Chains A and B, each alone.
Chain A
Amino acid sequence: MRRSRKGLTFNICATVLVLSGAVFFLGCTIEQTSSNSDAHSVTVADGAIDINLASAEELAKIPHIGPKLAGSIVEFRELHGPFRRPEHLMLIRGISNSRYHEIRAFVKTQ
């Protein structure tokens, strides 16, 4: 009986530990999944968005690019064709050299 009580305590502790570990692992996984869920289909492994494929909504989510500028990017793309280089974003009025430096990590062209 005493042995069985000891065994029960061990089992409970083990279960709590396993469950805690599972909860911790799952929590991390859920957190990771939720952060990934914000990204869209155009997101590539390095985290940069393809400015020739992204929609205005997707572009607007890039830091320092609001909806207005995102609209300008799409309008520019439709008017003059795809961007050959991400640096060519600076041809758009409103994207200066300093602003481009702020967003360069988030944009790319295929």
Chain B
Amino acid sequence: MKTSNPNFSKYPLVWLAGGLMLGIIFGKVAAAPALASLAVSIGAASVAFAIRGRRYAGLFLLIAFCFAGIFILGESSANERADRIKTVYDSGQIESGEPVEVEGTLIGKPEPSIDGFIIRLQVEKLVHDTAEQNVSGVIKLFAMAADPEAETEYAAMDLRYGTRIRVACDLSREEQFQDPGVVSQKLVMDQQGIDATGTIKSPLLIEVLGRKSVFVPLAWIFDQRQDLIYSLRQNLNPSTAGVLIASLLGDRHFLDKRTADVFREGGTFHVLVISGLHITFIGGMILVFIRIFTRNRVWPVLATTAFLWLYAFAVGAEVPVVRATLMFTVLACSQLVHRNGTLFNSLGLCAILILAWRPYDLFTASFQLTFVSVGAIVVIAFPLIQRLREIGEWTPTRKSPFPPNTRPWLRQFCEALYWREDVWMIEQKRHIWTTKLFKTTKAAWLSREGMRKLIRYVFEGMVVSFVVQACLLPFLIVYFHRLTMASIFLNLWVGFFIAVESFAALTGTLLSYLDASLAGPFFRVAEFFNWMLTAVPGFILDTGWASFRLPAYSGVGRSLYFLYVIPVAILSRAIFIWDPFQLIRRGTFVHLRWCIAFLILSATIIVHPFSAPSPDGRLHIDFLDVGQGDSALITFPDGQTMLVDGGGKGRFRTDTGDGEEEQFEPDTQRIGEAVVSEFLWDKGYSKIDYILATHADADHIQGLVDVSKNFEIKYAMFGRTPADDANYTELADVLAKRRVAITTIARGDELNVGGVSVTVLYPAAGVSPNEVSNNDHSVVLRIVFGSKRILMTGDIEKGAERSLLAEPTSLEADVIKVPHHGSRTSSTEDFVNAVGAKLAVISVGRHSVFGHPNPEVVERWKMSGAAVLITGEAGTVSVSTDGQNIYVDHFRK
């Protein structure tokens, strides 16, 4: 008799993994002494062993794992070597950006990139200001090779896995943009196992010292990977090559932004990151292939696992890849020891192994996404599909003599998908008795039409996709601020086409070694599949309903995400233990209540009615740290918002393909997306009432393009609308697409929002609004609330300052956004004195390539009696006023 109620105690490793995770979380929140934790852990484990077989033995084992988690985390922090490069930089021994010489060994082969390549160096020595010290840690260096001479010089060096080099460069380990909600650069580096990054300006700065002996098969695989990258780039167009190099070889430097955005918006970007999906697919294919030739159970698994580990190292051995390979190894090996069907338990074992290796991974998005998605598939999707299959395929047996006890519509649906009349006819011939089964007629019809197999695959794929999406909902919103409805379907589309595209391209590459003419058709087919891969999702996404950007709750609101876990966990358990053949249906009402709770919580997360801060009657201005550039968010006392400039500065490059000039924009995150949008989402906004571009320079206007794509905008305001300016036209196109009206503003225009008066002081209305929009045409705003005045000056220079001084309007202000990032072209003495500000905010990064701010200008503002805050040093500068007093805060304390 089938056990109708399998419970979770059959999965001890899942419980133990849970205990370990709890311990790690506890260790992070409240640092407990590591040795005491170890002692408690050993003690609890000893008690568990002593009372094994009794009721509470499991509980003691759980306690042992919990304290083991605390111990592992403590040890992991304590074991960090004091000579690590990250420690050298974090302790301030060396400032970020200072020139150093480092000596070390190359890990892996240099990874090709646009205009150069990337090397990872296991560093042994560091020289700074003639002082030499022994250090450890891995650094990531970008070697510039934009011209053929540099490429030739690098080729002559023959840098490879195991090469020892000494290199002179500027190393950097610091936060780039210090704003609330923006991902910490140091944290990202730590998660990637990189201590610092740097750029090598020339091959002449590298000295080859020798070569270390290396593991030859791995070196061979590195060579093959590099050859394959060159071959794909040579034979395919940039978009196809970029997709294949990223998805097969783990190098995302050749992805172009347009293609990457289609994947990102479609919620299918995960196929471009080597993860569990790839490892499972590649491993599964190899396993199936080998099993064609042998019935042996052991060596196909061992051979596949060995290949996967080599592959994992060849593609960079990044943590997610290693984790996925480890999971495959555990799952494959669990079959070897006859542990079929305990995927959930194997998942627990994987978690224990990975957390024992890198306990801090528990707090990374990558770990959480991997385990939640695999867990959702194993606990919900697979059992659900299995139950539906059982309902559809039901025939009377001794185990289940009665028909499934489900709603008729569900039974008919399952029968339509899974009932096989032909199999039943054969089965019936074996028995001495006959039975008449009343199955839905649609099953026979679908089967006849030959569509059933396809419909079944699509249905099952969509179930898996939906379940994963539902379980990942809080993670998708907190980490990516994106919900893609279409991804439930697009995952299937992309999954299929990327598989056939990869197959065509790899076949073409293999044939190209024999004869280029044989390979040509395969490459063309790969390009066609790539077009299919991107064109259809692109078309669906263009409709505008398929993908949404959503803000995250912060503060107390974040508890919603934890609450969401409760109904999901209860419903998951209900599906996991669901027995459709149970004669008495239990818990239906209870499940209905949890379903309603699930729907309400999902809606609250997606619609986010409480995410934005409620109006507090004050005027707030946040001057963001966007590096070299300007961006300030004004929150009016009634809660309306205005974004003045959006920062930004893109990197473009022209690449040639088949003799034709084609613009290639690498898939790098722009400031508007990675900084300004992240800040606004963190604040809880999904719409901005007004956006205003002071002028059309990229470091002011470009970020507004991303903001306009990601947020609902009510009004857009410009001083001038230069039709021939690429930065402006890009923004204007996005605004037109989103049907946002553009208003041109000029001196004398006034806006009253929530009791705040916003007056335009400059520029005067031009002859034509389409005139050029340079620094000296920047919009200057005076914001008045109560007795307090704030001046926003864009990038005005001396000429505009003189014009403003010539006007009768008083320039007096309590707070000023200093013109043109504190450049010496602005802030004349007369202007500074006329403003007489108490606070001068300079919007510029820590290392301005233009040398901003000018020390004399800073001194001039200070001499006038103003406190000076620079966004690059202070982070976001937040100014708020109730009309009587001004309150100032900044992100970096």
Query: Taking beta carbons and an 8 Å cutoff, which residues of A are in contact with B?
Result: 76, 79-82, 84-85, 87-88, 90-91, 96-98, 100
Q: Which of B147-192 contact A (CB under 8 A)?
A: 147, 150, 168-170
Interface flag for B144 (CB, 8 Å): yes
Chain B residues within 8 Å of A82, by CB: 130
- Contact: B129 with A90, CB < 8 Å? no
Chain A residues within 8 Å of B280, by CB: none
- Contact: A81 with B129, CB < 8 Å? yes
Q: With A and B bound together, what is the CA distance between A80 and B169 in angstroms?
A: 13
A–B Cβ pairs within 8 angstroms, 20 of them: A80-B99, A80-B129, A81-B130, A82-B130, A87-B168, A87-B202, A88-B99, A88-B168, A90-B168, A90-B201, A90-B205, A91-B169, A91-B170, A91-B205, A96-B201, A97-B144, A97-B150, A97-B201, A97-B202, A100-B202
- Give the dominant DSSP class at B's interface: mixed
Interface flag for B204 (CB, 8 Å): yes
Q: With A and B bound together, what is the CA distance between A85 and B168 in angstroms?
A: 10
Q: A81-B129, A85-B168 are in contact. List 14 more A-B contacts (CB 8 A).
A: A80-B129, A81-B130, A82-B130, A87-B205, A88-B99, A91-B168, A91-B170, A91-B205, A96-B201, A97-B144, A97-B147, A97-B201, A97-B202, A97-B204
User: From residue A76, how far is it (CB to closest CB) to chain B in Å?
Assistant: 8
Q: Which of A88, A91, A97 has the most CB of B within 10 A?
A: A97
The 4 closest A-B pairs by CB, nearest first: A97-B202, A81-B130, A91-B99, A87-B204
Interface flag for B101 (CB, 8 Å): yes
Interface size class of B (residues with CB under 8 A): 10 to 19
Nearest to A79 among chain B residues (CB) is B129
Chain B residues within 8 Å of A97, by CB: 144, 147, 150, 201-202, 204
User: From residue A10, how far is it (CB to closest CB) to chain B in Å?
Assistant: 64
User: From residue A110, how far is it (CB to closest CB) to chain B in Å?
Assistant: 15
Q: With A and B bound together, what is the CA distance between A96 and B147 in angstroms?
A: 12
Chain A residues within 8 Å of B205, by CB: 87-88, 90-91
- Contact: A100 with B204, CB < 8 Å? yes
Q: Which of A76, A82, A87, A98 has the most CB of B within 10 A?
A: A87
A-B contacts at CB below 8 angstroms, number: 41
Q: With A and B bound together, what is the CA distance between A98 and B148 in angstroms?
A: 12
Q: With A and B bound together, what is the CA distance between A100 and B150 in angstroms?
A: 13
Q: Which of B651-708 contact A (CB under 8 A)?
A: none
Nearest to A81 among chain B residues (CB) is B130
Q: With A and B bound together, what is the CA distance between A81 and B129 in angstroms?
A: 6
Q: Which of B129, B130, B144, B204 has the most CB of A within 10 A?
A: B204
Q: With A and B bound together, what is the CA distance between A110 and B505 in angstroms?
A: 54
Given that A80-B99, A97-B144, A97-B150 are contacting pairs, would A90 and B202 also be in contact in the complex, using a CB cutoff of 8 Å?
yes
User: From residue A87, how far is it (CB to closest CB) to chain B in Å?
Assistant: 4
Interface bits B189-217 vs A (CB < 8 Å: 1, else 0): 00000000000011011000000000000
Q: With A and B bound together, what is the CA distance between A97 and B168 in angstroms?
A: 13
- Contact: B202 with A84, CB < 8 Å? no
User: From residue B611, how far is it (CB to closest CB) to chain A in Å?
Assistant: 43
Given that A80-B99, A84-B101, A97-B144 are contacting pairs, would A90 and B130 also be in contact in the complex, using a CB cutoff of 8 Å?
no
Q: Which of B99, B101, B129 has the most CB of A within 10 A?
A: B99
User: From residue A24, how far is it (CB to closest CB) to chain B in Å?
Assistant: 44
User: From residue B767, how far is it (CB to closest CB) to chain A in Å?
Assistant: 40
User: From residue B256, how far is it (CB to closest CB) to chain A in Å?
Assistant: 26
Interface bits B133-148 vs A (CB < 8 Å: 1, else 0): 0000000000010010
Q: Which of B129, B144, B168, B170 has the most CB of A within 10 A?
A: B168
Chain B residues within 8 Å of A80, by CB: 98-99, 128-130
Q: With A and B bound together, what is the CA distance between A82 and B127 in angstroms?
A: 12
Chain A residues within 8 Å of B170, by CB: 91
Chain A residues within 8 Å of B150, by CB: 97
Q: With A and B bound together, what is the CA distance between A62 and B101 in angstroms?
A: 26
Q: With A and B bound together, what is the CA distance between A90 and B150 in angstroms?
A: 14
Nearest to A95 among chain B residues (CB) is B201
User: From residue A48, how far is it (CB to closest CB) to chain B in Å?
Assistant: 16
Q: With A and B bound together, what is the CA distance between A87 and B99 in angstroms?
A: 13
Chain B residues within 8 Å of A76, by CB: 99
Q: Which of B453-472 contact A (CB under 8 A)?
A: none
Chain A residues within 8 Å of B204, by CB: 87, 90, 97, 100
Nearest to A92 among chain B residues (CB) is B99
Q: With A and B bound together, what is the CA distance between A96 and B201 in angstroms?
A: 7
Q: With A and B bound together, what is the CA distance between A81 and B169 in angstroms?
A: 15
Q: With A and B bound together, what is the CA distance between A82 and B130 in angstroms?
A: 8
Q: With A and B bound together, what is the CA distance between A97 and B146 in angstroms?
A: 10
Nearest to A86 among chain B residues (CB) is B204
User: From residue A105, how far is it (CB to closest CB) to chain B in Å?
Assistant: 14
Q: With A and B bound together, what is the CA distance between A88 and B130 in angstroms?
A: 13
Chain B residues within 8 Å of A96, by CB: 201-202
Q: With A and B bound together, what is the CA distance between A44 and B853 in angstroms?
A: 41
Q: Which of B101, B150, B205 has the most CB of A within 10 A?
A: B205
Interface bits B363-384 vs A (CB < 8 Å: 1, else 0): 0000000000000000000000
Q: With A and B bound together, what is the CA distance between A97 and B201 in angstroms?
A: 7
Q: With A and B bound together, what is the CA distance between A100 and B130 in angstroms?
A: 22
Chain A residues within 8 Å of B169, by CB: 91
Q: Which of B60-103 contact A (CB under 8 A)?
A: 98-99, 101
Q: With A and B bound together, what is the CA distance between A85 and B130 in angstroms?
A: 12
Q: With A and B bound together, what is the CA distance between A83 and B201 in angstroms?
A: 16
User: From residue A90, how far is it (CB to closest CB) to chain B in Å?
Assistant: 5
Q: With A and B bound together, what is the CA distance between A91 and B99 in angstroms?
A: 6
User: From residue B26, how far is it (CB to closest CB) to chain A in Å?
Assistant: 46
Chain B residues within 8 Å of A85, by CB: 168
Chain A residues within 8 Å of B98, by CB: 80
Chain A residues within 8 Å of B101, by CB: 84
Chain A residues within 8 Å of B202, by CB: 87, 90, 96-97, 100
Chain A residues within 8 Å of B147, by CB: 97-98
Q: With A and B bound together, what is the CA distance between A85 and B99 in angstroms?
A: 13
Chain B residues within 8 Å of A100, by CB: 202, 204
Chain B residues within 8 Å of A98, by CB: 147
Q: With A and B bound together, what is the CA distance between A84 and B168 in angstroms?
A: 10
Chain A residues within 8 Å of B201, by CB: 90-91, 96-97
Q: With A and B bound together, what is the CA distance between A87 and B201 in angstroms?
A: 10
Q: With A and B bound together, what is the CA distance between A96 and B98 in angstroms?
A: 17
Q: With A and B bound together, what is the CA distance between A18 and B132 in angstroms?
A: 65
Q: With A and B bound together, what is the CA distance between A1 and B557 in angstroms?
A: 129
Chain A residues within 8 Å of B99, by CB: 76, 80, 88, 91
User: From residue A93, how far is it (CB to closest CB) to chain B in Å?
Assistant: 8
Q: With A and B bound together, what is the CA distance between A57 and B115 in angstroms?
A: 36
Chain A residues within 8 Å of B144, by CB: 97
Q: With A and B bound together, what is the CA distance between A97 and B130 in angstroms?
A: 23
Chain A residues within 8 Å of B168, by CB: 85, 87-88, 90-91
Nearest to B847 among chain A residues (CB) is A93
Q: With A and B bound together, what is the CA distance between A100 and B144 in angstroms?
A: 15
User: From residue B98, how far is it (CB to closest CB) to chain A in Å?
Assistant: 8
Chain B residues within 8 Å of A91, by CB: 99, 168-170, 201, 205
Q: With A and B bound together, what is the CA distance between A6 and B128 in angstroms?
A: 82
Q: With A and B bound together, what is the CA distance between A85 and B150 in angstroms?
A: 19
Q: With A and B bound together, what is the CA distance between A85 and B206 in angstroms?
A: 11
Q: With A and B bound together, what is the CA distance between A21 and B455 in angstroms?
A: 105
User: From residue A59, how far is it (CB to closest CB) to chain B in Å?
Assistant: 18
Nearest to B146 among chain A residues (CB) is A97
Q: With A and B bound together, what is the CA distance between A98 and B170 in angstroms?
A: 18
Nearest to A96 among chain B residues (CB) is B201
Q: With A and B bound together, what is the CA distance between A100 and B149 in angstroms?
A: 13
Q: With A and B bound together, what is the CA distance between A76 and B99 in angstroms?
A: 10
Nearest to B207 among chain A residues (CB) is A85
Chain B residues within 8 Å of A90, by CB: 168, 201-202, 204-205
Q: With A and B bound together, what is the CA distance between A76 and B129 in angstroms?
A: 10
Nearest to B99 among chain A residues (CB) is A91
Q: With A and B bound together, what is the CA distance between A58 and B144 in angstroms?
A: 31
Chain A residues within 8 Å of B128, by CB: 80
Chain B residues within 8 Å of A87, by CB: 168, 202, 204-205
Q: With A and B bound together, what is the CA distance between A94 and B169 in angstroms?
A: 14
Q: Which of A79, A84, A91 has the most CB of B within 10 A?
A: A91
